[in-house]
């Protein structure tokens, strides 16, 4: 292994070998003994030819073959190509070149270090990331030489951190101090773990003090990052609660109906998304799969809108003014809808895949990642809120709805068809719940019990924000989401929810109409 590393260091100052030298060194890998193969690997690495990295990787994976005439081949997905020329060849008599664990480790180390010398920046960056993740003291000189020759700033930064990590184990206190000074600005929890042993028990007092200061600085920075993570997660949770509660705010605010089946409207929207996904997968080419979510949003709205109108016309309209009976009736409907879905789709969870444009995320400092699906849901819920606000503010239907909300007898006397407004309003609230189900299908599995996890939180958001107030629902959802996530690290998820519930109960005792109470003659009276 030491010979291999020394050879790699030497190749950084040597000129590239001729093609004949490379071909001969590759053929020598098919030696009889493992020690001869290791010597051949040393020789091949010393040539500094970038093609050697692929040869080493193939040999370490058991994909390097030799024919009867001595030609060395790399196997890839059942086909063979010449390790020297790269040409695809037939290989009926090829036999695999055997390796042992010692040789395999040396080959992988050589392949990784050769990557630092590759002309392709992508390969160099991958090699630098590998060196950073698994520091190898034997490769310290190689990494330093690569750092001196590197011109790409991002790769240079990775190599600088790799050198600093290697220097932490150096016997010279000056090197350890230099490494600590460089790593102190990091926000990586792994760096804190590397510095902690020096902060606890380094033999040099100056090094120990510097390590303790660096660890403290990193911990403070990670604490701030943790707060940022909790804020993002709180906003994300708040957006989910907003989507779940906004439809309930419409129905509860206009009609005063305690709709215990609201969660099942969310569930129906999620299952509609699943059905649309399977239909797109079966009927359209794979390149169009990402469009299924665009199709699912209006389809889920139409399906749940129709279900909501049907429920209002057949059950709800006979129970106005009797909240207890309404609550019991809608609870029974929720159980029926759950059983219907179990009969149609089964009790097991259904997976709804994220489209390609919602997969992945933006990685920030300290492991803080903004996932695309959460960011899209946050923006989507704000778009739904603004669209609903525009409908209520500027459309004829919105005018009728506001009139019925503020004074139902007067609205009826003015000729507004309150029955149709009630049906359309209940359908609108159910349709928005269906859209919420589309969004929730992107962050979890779809099951018959999906809506049950949001019904209580939805009612808390509506009551806390103010019954019938969209902006109160927005503030209430974001407030509850942030408070829940900020309390979780200290009180735990369950105790945090209990504390929030107690706080809302106390708040309602002082302000029964919530944060933003609607005003109207019937309300004020």
More confident call, 490 vs 72: 72
Highest mean pLDDT among 15-29, 205-219, 408-422, 466-480: 205-219
Confidence band, pLDDT 50/70/90 cuts, at residue 421: confident
Give the lowest-confidence range in 183-197, 235-249, 378-392: 183-197
Other residues' Cβ atoms within 10 Å of the Cβ of residue 289: 15
Q: What are the distances in angstroms from CA 289 to CA 79, 136, 272, 349?
A: 31, 44, 16, 21
Cα of 254 vs its chain's centroid, Å: 37
Tens of pLDDT, residue by residue over 388-420, are 888 888 888 888 877 877 777 887 788 888 778
More confident call, 183 vs 493: 183
The closest of 336, 297, 255 to 433, measured between CA atoms, is 297
Confidence band, pLDDT 50/70/90 cuts, at residue 133: low
The closest of 40, 39, 99 to 64, measured between CA atoms, is 99
Give the lowest-confidence range in 55-59, 75-79, 164-168, 394-398: 164-168
Tens of pLDDT, residue by residue over 64-90, are 888 878 888 888 877 888 878 778 887
Give the lowest-confidence range in 19-28, 46-55, 467-476: 46-55
Confidence band, pLDDT 50/70/90 cuts, at residue 271: very high
Give the lowest-confidence range in 13-22, 253-262, 346-355: 13-22
Residue with tokens 């040099």: 204
pLDDT for the residue numbered 124:
73
Average pLDDT, the chain: 78
What does the block give as tokens for 63? 């994909």
Please state the three-class secondary structure of 173-230 as a single string: HHHHHHHHHHHCCCCCHHHHHHHHHHHHHCCCHHHHHHHHHHHHHHHHHHHHHHHHHH
Q: Supply the DSSP string of 446-466, one letter for each residue.
A: B-TTTTHHHHHHHHHHHHHH-
pLDDT for the residue numbered 521:
44
Contacts of 5 (CB under 8 A, 6+ apart): 109, 113, 138, 139, 141, 142
How deeply is 282 buried, as exposed, middle or buried, from its count of CB atoms within 10 A (0-12, 13-18, 19+)? Answer: exposed
The closest of 295, 304, 327 to 429, measured between CA atoms, is 304
The residue-averaged pLDDT of 150-165 equals: 75
Residue 324 has pLDDT above 70, yes or no: yes
Would the CA dihedral through 21, 22, 27, 29 be positive or negative? positive
The closest of 42, 37, 36 to 1, measured between CA atoms, is 42
Residue 7 has pLDDT above 50, yes or no: no
pLDDT for the residue numbered 5:
41
Give the lowest-confidence range in 5-9, 119-123, 501-505: 5-9
Look up residue 152 and give its DSSP letter. Answer: -
Tens of pLDDT, residue by residue over 96-106, are 888 888 777 77
Give the lowest-confidence range in 281-295, 456-470, 510-524: 510-524
Q: How far apart are CA 351 and CA 348, in angstroms?
A: 10
Confidence band, pLDDT 50/70/90 cuts, at residue 305: very high
Residue 59 has pLDDT above 70, yes or no: yes
The closest of 392, 499, 516 to 462, measured between CA atoms, is 516
The closest of 170, 168, 141 to 10, measured between CA atoms, is 141
Give the lowest-confidence range in 127-131, 208-212, 307-311: 127-131
pLDDT for the residue numbered 105:
74
Alpha helices in 28-172 (DSSP H): 34-46, 51-60, 101-115, 121-133, 140-149, 153-167
Buried b (16+ CB within 10 A) or exposed e, 26-50: bbbbbeeeeeebbbbbbbbbbbbbe
């Amino acid at each position: 292994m030491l010979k291999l590393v020394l050879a790699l260091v030497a190749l950084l100052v040597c000129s590239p070998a001729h093609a004949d030298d490379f071909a001969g060194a590759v053929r020598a890998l098919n030696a009889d003994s493992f020690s001869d193969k290791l010597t051949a690997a040393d020789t091949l690495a010393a040539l500094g030819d970038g093609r050697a990295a692929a040869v080493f990787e193939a040999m370490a994976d058991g994909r390097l073959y030799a024919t009867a005439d001595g030609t060395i081949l790399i196997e890839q997905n059942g086909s063979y190509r010449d390790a020297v020329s790269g040409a695809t060849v037939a290989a009926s008599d090829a036999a695999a070149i055997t390796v042992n664990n010692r040789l395999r480790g040396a080959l992988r180390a050589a392949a990784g270090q050769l990557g630092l010398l590759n002309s392709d920046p992508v390969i160099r960056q991958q090699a630098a990331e590998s060196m950073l993740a698994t520091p190898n003291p034997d490769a310290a000189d190689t990494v330093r030489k690569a750092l001196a020759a590197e011109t790409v700033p991002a790769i240079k930064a990775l190599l600088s951190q790799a050198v600093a990590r290697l220097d932490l184990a150096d016997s010279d206190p000056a090197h350890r101090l230099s490494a600590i000074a460089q790593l102190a600005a990091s926000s990586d929890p792994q760096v804190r773990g590397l510095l902690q042993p020096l902060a606890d028990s380094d033999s040099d007092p100056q090094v120990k003090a510097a390590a303790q200061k660096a660890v403290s600085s990193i911990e403070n920075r990670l604490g701030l990052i943790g707060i940022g993570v909790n804020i993002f997660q709180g906003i994300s949770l708040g957006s989910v609660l907003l989507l779940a509660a906004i439809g309930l705010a419409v129905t509860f605010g206009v009609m005063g109906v305690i709709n215990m089946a609201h969660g099942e409207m969310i569930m129906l929207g999620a299952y509609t998304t699943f059905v649309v996904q399977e239909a797109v997968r079966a009927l359209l080419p794979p390149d169009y799969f990402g469009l299924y979510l665009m199709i699912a949003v209006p389809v889920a709205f139409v399906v749940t809108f129709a279900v909501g109108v049907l429920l209002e016309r057949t059950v709800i309209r006979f129970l106005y003014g009797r909240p207890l009976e309404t609550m019991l009736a809608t609870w029974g409907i929720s159980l029926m809808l759950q059983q219907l879905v179990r009969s149609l789709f089964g009790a097991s969870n259904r997976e709804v895949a994220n489209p390609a444009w919602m997969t992945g995320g933006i990685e920030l400092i300290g492991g803080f990642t903004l996932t695309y699906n959460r960011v899209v849901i946050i923006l989507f819920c704000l778009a739904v809120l603004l669209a609903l606000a525009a409908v209520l503010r500027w459309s004829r239907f919105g005018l009728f709805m506001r009139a019925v909300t503020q004074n139902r007898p007067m609205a009826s006397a003015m000729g507004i068809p309150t029955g149709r407004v009630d049906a359309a309003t209940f359908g609108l609230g159910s349709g928005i719940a269906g859209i919420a189900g589309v969004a929730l299908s992107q962050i979890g599995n779809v099951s018959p019990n999906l809506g049950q996890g949001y019904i209580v939180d939805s009612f808390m958001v509506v009551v806390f924000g103010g019954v019938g107030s969209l902006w109160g629902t927005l503030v209430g959802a974001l407030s509850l989401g942030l408070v829940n996530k900020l309390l979780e690290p200290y009180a735990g998820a369950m105790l945090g929810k209990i504390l929030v519930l107690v706080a809302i109960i106390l708040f309602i005792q002082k302000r029964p109409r919530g944060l933003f109470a609607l005003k109207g003659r019937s309300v004020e009276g």
